[in-house]
Amino acid sequence: MSEKLWIFDTTLRDGEQVPGCQLNTREKIVVAKALEELGVDVIEAGFPISSPGDFNSVVEISKAVSNPIICALSRAVEKDIDVAAEALKYAKKGRIHTGIGVSPFHIQYKLRSTPDEIIERAVRAVKYAKRYVEDVEFYAEDAGRAEKDFLARIVEQAIKAGATVINIPDTTGYCLPEQYGAIIRHLKENVSNIDKAIIATHCHNDLGMATANTISGVQNGARQVEVTINGIGERAGNTSMEEVVMAIKCHHDIPVETSIVTPRIYETSRLISKLMNMPVQPNKAIVGRNAFAHSSGIHQDGVLKHRENYEIIDPKDVGVHESSIVLTARSGRAALKHHLDALGVVLEGEALNEVYEEFLVLADSKRDITPKDLLSLVGKYVDESTFIELEKVSYESNGSIKASVTLKVGDKIKQASSSGNGPVDAVLKSIEKIVKPDIELEEFLIQAITAGSDDVAKVHMRIMQGKIPYYGFSSNTDIVVASAQAFVDALNKIPVKNKVTVA
């Protein structure tokens, strides 16, 4: 029978320590509610003594959510614990998370102490926290580089003092999976009262091992994992929640189960990315835009015949509408036929072969193949009246920012203007006035692809119509023009039957 694996989400504490990704209290409440809907068991809401803002966030999150345990971080310092307890006063279920460094590096160079003094301070902090809440978690910072026997000693004393959860952080991301698993196993076998507490993993990704170390910890007896959405966090990041949850879901021989509502994973990932202005890398496992995209002809043919040939996860299980069959010069006939079928063009045999040869020539010279490109190849157009071309873009700033665009929609010329928070915003709003798309702009990335003052900017845009994504790409020395081109590119990929009537 499977045991419960507690999901401890620290996106709002460790995750928010990423430079430039700080959230205000209102945004943190939005994230906390999303995490509650996702099904996490514990939300580490902040480090209350660190700032008035963090203190207030813990207070307000405690008021806003009901189901998860709300956890507040502290050092092994009485004042920290007092402030953490005060911040948790509205929590339906509160936990104080206190601890101290346990590696020789931390004991000697950071804390300038001795092992015996560290144990005394740990015990004192746990007992002090226990005066406020029943649920006390003790973290043994830098446990990944600690001496195992000393770690066992301090863990035993922390549990004796009242700790209900013991956190074993690989703070520097140093461990290999076998090493980290051996640490957990050593505690299970050598701490006499270990059955009175839950062992937690907390792994960093400095060597790219965070998820592997966490899974190894679970396989060796840990029953709480400390994770973040998208794997964000200090330096190279923390363990990715979505990776751990889906690894466990895929591997039925790991005898644990979580309470995560997996179809909400993708939506939550995008929320965090948007609020923290931290793009998800395209090849990120589970939630990257290429996680379920196939461009190789061999892979595309296999997926179209039977999804599990090349996918171990059904995209719908994590909230992605469907796999993407991306047309490139490496695509095969099966992928081309799949896209033509979707456009209502049925080709078989020699006719398909002839179009495929022309397609390969086009794909070698054009990075992104559009529906119009495919229809051109077969000498056929479906409702040309909805195809959009960007004719002209202009913008100015005289106290307020205003932009004007001219579009060719089918054979008609349309113009519109709008003000905005910036020239890009104003231009996109102008386009929306003409096209009136029923879409949401979900992702907008700008990247310089050349050096110098005449940089060429590459724009990637992702728009959503319902749960279906459409991508737009462009490059230009003018960021505003590139943005408009990418937006139009994405709009043109929406099937004709789903487009909104042009104004």
> Is residue 298 located within the same domain as residue 179?
no
3-state secondary structure of 213: helix
Please, which residues bridge with residue 256 across strands? Answer: 3
Residue 416, CA atoms < 13 Å, CB-side half-sphere: 20
Residues in binding site for Mn(2+): 14, 202, 204, 238
pLDDT band, very low/low/confident/very high, at 339 (cuts 50, 70, 90)? confident
Identify whether 185 is part of a domain. Answer: yes
Question: What mean pLDDT comes out for the span 301-306?
Answer: 90
> Is residue 345 located within the same domain as residue 436?
no
Question: What mean pLDDT comes out for the span 346-360?
Answer: 91
- CATH number, domain containing residue 102: 3.20.20.70
**C-alpha 455 chain-centroid distance:** 29
Q: What pLDDT was estimated at residue 503?
A: 61
Q: Nearest CA to 239 among 219, 256, 259, 216?
A: 216
Among 341, 358, 378, the domain boundary falls at: 378
> Is residue 117 located within the same domain as residue 168?
yes
Say yes or no to pLDDT of 429 above 60.
Answer: yes
> Is residue 258 located within the same domain as residue 404?
no
pLDDT band, very low/low/confident/very high, at 458 (cuts 50, 70, 90)? confident
Identify whether 442 is part of a domain. Answer: yes
And the tokens for 309?
């040939």
> Is residue 167 located within the same domain as residue 238?
yes
CA angle (363 as vertex; 357, 364 as ends), nearest 5: 95
34 sits in the region (left: phi over 0; alpha: psi -120 to 50; else beta) called alpha
> Is residue 66 located within the same domain as residue 169?
yes
Q: What pLDDT was estimated at residue 381?
A: 52
CA angle (87 as vertex; 68, 94 as ends), nearest 5: 30
Question: How does pLDDT run across 51-80, given as a tens digit for each residue?
Answer: 999 999 999 999 999 999 999 999 999 999
Q: Cα separation of 295 and 280, whole Å?
A: 20
337 is in which domain, residue-wise? Answer: 293-378
CB 199 within 8 A of CB 190: no
pLDDT band, very low/low/confident/very high, at 325 (cuts 50, 70, 90)? confident
Say yes or no to pLDDT of 383 above 60.
Answer: no
Residues 6+ apart with CB under 8 A from 402: 395, 396, 417, 418, 419, 420, 426
Identify whether 333 is part of a domain. Answer: yes
Say yes or no to pLDDT of 199 above 90.
Answer: yes
Q: Cα separation of 39 and 8, whole Å?
A: 10
Considering the entire predicted model, what is its pTM? 0.85
pLDDT band, very low/low/confident/very high, at 254 (cuts 50, 70, 90)? very high
Q: Which of 147-156, 270-279, 404-413 has the highest mean pLDDT?
A: 147-156
Q: What pLDDT was estimated at residue 451?
A: 61
Q: What pLDDT was estimated at residue 321?
A: 87
Among 378, 404, 432, the domain boundary falls at: 378
Residues in binding site: 14, 202, 204, 238
Question: What mean pLDDT comes out for the span 233-246?
Answer: 97
CB 383 within 8 A of CB 406: no
Identify whether 281 is part of a domain. Answer: no
Percent of all residues in the chain with a pLDDT value above 90, rounded to a whole number: 73
And the tokens for 55?
């203190």
What angle separates helix 148-161 from helix 177-190, to the nearest 10 degrees? 50
Q: Nearest CA to 65 among 23, 96, 34, 24?
A: 34
Domain count, the chain: 3
Please, which residues bridge with residue 501 across strands? Answer: none
Among 276, 308, 335, the domain boundary falls at: 276
> Is residue 137 located within the same domain as residue 23?
yes
Identify whether 285 is part of a domain. Answer: no
> Is residue 306 located within the same domain as residue 434?
no
Q: What pLDDT was estimated at residue 454?
A: 63
Residues 6+ apart with CB under 8 A from 251: none
Looking at residue 359, its amino acid is F
Q: What pLDDT was estimated at residue 497?
A: 62
Q: What pLDDT was estimated at residue 267?
A: 95
Q: What pLDDT was estimated at residue 385?
A: 63
Q: Cα separation of 137 and 159, whole Å?
A: 9
Q: Cα separation of 114 and 153, whole Å?
A: 14
Percent of all residues in the chain with a pLDDT value above 70, rounded to a whole number: 96
Identify whether 124 is part of a domain. Answer: yes
Question: How does pLDDT run across 97-152, given as a tens digit for each residue?
Answer: 999 999 999 999 999 999 999 999 999 999 999 999 999 999 999 999 999 999 99
